[in-house]
Each structure stands twice: as C-alpha cells, then as structure tokens.
Structure 1
C-alpha cells in the first residue's frame, strides 16, 4: 500500500485546533462581564457533555472545539479582576462608566468602557485599550479630548458621565 493513503494521525482522539490566544496579564471585568464569562463557560461545558453523549462520535472536531473554548474561558476567568463601576464617583471617565460625547459637528454618542471580553462596538461598549477609551479615560465633563483614529484625529467634548444601566 502506498504511504500516500496512510492516516498518520490514526489513533489520535483529538483533532489539532489552534488554541485561542489568551492575552497576558490581568483581565479587568465589570460585574456584567464576569457574569457573561461564567455563563459562557457553563454553556460550553453543557455543550461538551451533550457532544460526548452522542451515539455517533466519529467527528471529534466539535468536542475539541468545546474543550478549547473551555480552556480559554477558564483562563480568562482565572485572570479576571472584577471592578465594580458603582464604586466610582462620576467626576471623571473611568472603567465601567458611560460617557456621552459630542464631536466637532455636535453629533452626540455614548460609550461604555468595559472589559475586553465584553466590548462590542455595536452596543457602544469599548475596551480600555482602544484608542477611543484611552483618549476618554480620566477626562472630566467639559474636557475636550483628541481621539487618534486611522481616519485622522477627532476632537470630542465630554458632555456627561454616568453609571451604566444594569
């Protein structure tokens, strides 16, 4: 038999999947972000149990993907540093708070600075390491900050700082 038709990975129960990269260092999270990570972990663990209970388990890829996701979620939770935004006063923009800004044309926008894992631009949630969050952190109402974007600099005036809706 030709070597071209021999499955050298035969006997391997686990397909090779690349690991999800885990950023180094602490993982600041809001209480909502911590709860979301815990819920995702519980869902993936339940999915893995269901996958292993399948009568036909010839395709191991879904199980391997679930195991990989569980490892990633456990690493993110282990590095989690919960920060309760309710403890922040509203004198300056800080992690977990919502800031309302106006651009040079007077258009207003609201952004919430959240943990990296819960950032979602479509919901106005931005990670603290993003250029916009870096420009806003520490600003006070009335301050004008410069947001350095790929499309060019934009001046934003801080109109308000508030706690996020629960």
Structure 2
C-alpha cells in the first residue's frame, strides 16, 4: 500500500531542483573524482578514492529518496484551496500567543519543506495538528516543552 505525502507546489519544485542538480552536476562530478582517484594507483590506501565512493553512495541514495518522495507526493496548491476559512494543509495561519501577545505566522507544509525560521511548519508537528480544522477566532492549545501554550487564530489565508 502506497501512502501519499502531501507537499506544496513550492516544495515539489524545490525537490525537483535538488534532483536535477544531483543528476546533472553532483553525479558527474563524483564520477570524475573517482576516475581521478583511480588514476593515482593503489586503491587500498587511497583516501581520495574512498571519500569519492562514499560521496557517490550518498548522492545515489539521495536521488532514490527524492524520486520516491516525488512518486508518492500529492502536490497541493494552497492558492486553489477552498476550505471555508478552516486551517488545512497548505494554509497560512496568523496566530497570537495568548500569554505574551506575540504574533506569529506559519504555513502548514510537508515534512521536507518545514523550516521554522521561514515560518514553515510540518503538518505532523504538534502545533500544526492543534491548528488543523480550526478557523479564525478559535483558540488552539499546543503541548509545548514548557507546558500548554494557547494561540488565538487571527487569520487563515490560502496563498
């Protein structure tokens, strides 16, 4: 049974760009490095050769991983969503911390796209799970390391 992995259009483009770079630049570069290291003779004590082979193994593994993810991906364009104001995958959510009054904005994205510094949170994270299904004006309770945090949803957008 194949499970689908939700991913935004931007996330899918980022993975495709990485795959393209791995196949068109990194793979040929490492093949050339292996050939160069081989030309130095004895492979049993050739650190350059070992390092290049290790790098090749990493590149080939990453290519397989990305291809698998793209095959299983269900690409979702948040701008085409009509979720009636509810928080769903791909939504951008404005929150206000009820204790501190600090405002934050997060977009709920797939695992490979998540980057907290950019406001992109994994759909499987505790805060995303607490937000899914809620709408503007609702309060989400998130179990954080320091205890329960309460956030008021001040806006839901599909960008």
Q: Which range, TM-score by smaller chain?
A: 0.7 to 0.9
Partner of 2:71: 78
Structure 1 residue ranges without an equivalent (≥5): 1-23
1:1-166 aligned at under 5 Å gives the runs 25-46=3-24, 47-54=26-33, 55-57=35-37, 58-59=49-50, 60-89=53-82, 91-104=85-98, 105-164=100-159
CA RMSD in angstroms, aligned pairs only:
1.4
Aligned to 2:40: none
Q: Which has the higher helix share?
A: 2
Asked whether the 8 Å contact 2:80–2:158 carries over to 1, the reply is no
Q: What whole-Å deviation, never above 9, does each CA across 1:31-86 have from its counterpart, x for those lacking one?
A: 00110111111111121122112341423111111111111111111111111111
The alpha carbon displacement at 1:163 in A equals 2.7
The offset of 1:87, in angstroms, is: 2.0
> Which residue of structure 1 aligns with residue 43 of structure 2?
none
1: CA distance between counterparts of 2:32 and 2:120?
38
Cα deviation, residue 148, structure 1: 1.2
Partners of 2:75 and 2:10 in 1: how far apart?
A: 9
- Distance across 2 between alignment mates of 1:37 and 1:99: 24
Query: Which piece of structure 1 moves more, 52-61 or 62-71?
Result: 52-61
Query: Matched residue of 1:106: which SS?
Result: coil
Which of structure 1's runs of 4+ aligned residues deviate more than 6 A?
A: none
CA positional deviation for 1:151: 1.6
How many residue pairs get aligned? The number is 141
Q: Which ranges in structure 2 are unaligned for 5 or more consecutive residues?
A: 38-48
